[in-house]
Structure 1
Amino acid sequence: MSQSDGDNQFELTHVNAQGRAQMVDVMGKEATDRIALAKADIEMSETTLLRIQEGGIKKGDVLAVAQIAGIMAAKKTSDIIPLCHPLALTGIDLEFSYPNPTTLRVISRVHTLGATGVEMEALTAVSVAALTVYDMCKAIDRAMTIVFIGLLEKSGGKSGVFVRDHV
């Protein structure tokens, strides 16, 4: 269910006349430049984060593996999210930062020229990257927690620009 901007009417775009799920036909929509940014924060112990930064995780370079996992996940989003359209993505990037001594932040930027947006691809990228960090570091820190996954920005298409007010 999606809420229309500016009013309280609900429009069920992914439901057919029989009330069953459908993949929306985007054939008539104009191809536009579409970009989405998403974020995931992973909380962990200071020791774990320091070991990631210093390359001290036995499984290997955590950020390099998470980067590739996130890129691969964005490319495969339509294979795992049932009503997503397969998209020809023109760019995928993930950046990592450390907003505090116990948080690893992952931000994805996904780009396409197409008839539908790339929000799900950006969200899938950060989700899988965060899960990959957990997988690679779970032997030393099973208490890691993915505390936030969300869309930061999106542009393109009929609905225009969305920018999250705060995170």
Structure 2
Amino acid sequence: MENLEKISLESKRLILQPISLEHTEDVFREFTSEITTFMYPKPVHSLSETEKIIRDMILQRENHTDLVLVILKKDHLEFLGICEVGAIDTHTPELGIWLKKSAHGYGFGREAIHALKDWVDKNLEYNYLSYPVDKRNIPSRKIAESLGGKIFREFQQINKSGYLLDEVEYRIYK
């Protein structure tokens, strides 16, 4: 596997780069309660809390367990959100993504996840990719389906904000 610190993925409109502390303010500002409605994590309450989470993401990258990438718009390097592949040290990695509110509806999520899956296919040995998503999150479900994802199971869980998530887990194969 290539050096995870040096990864830079490009698509037609986007650049995906490893998360770093320079993105702390963007993540803190854009990872809102509205964005996390259908997600397990909850928004943080301070820049220092955001910085700690990003430091943990960097450590996970250094330990080759997770790869978290910021999504930047190619023309002005505007921060759009984050995509990731977790559990990269297993045969069942998990894809995830979130975009800031103003980036919704432009196909950036699909473009980012497709670029990430291309990297995964070239660099990881896996049986399938997992893509869990709340049933109500139709745009994210469409991303999984655009990769050929098929629903494997359904489950419910309480997220960190205390709300019930009604999830489906897509499995995506090479």
Query: Taking structure 2 as the reference length, what is the TM-score of the superposition?
Result: 0.31
Report the structure, 1 or 2, having the larger helix content: 2
The structure with the largest alpha-carbon Rg is 1
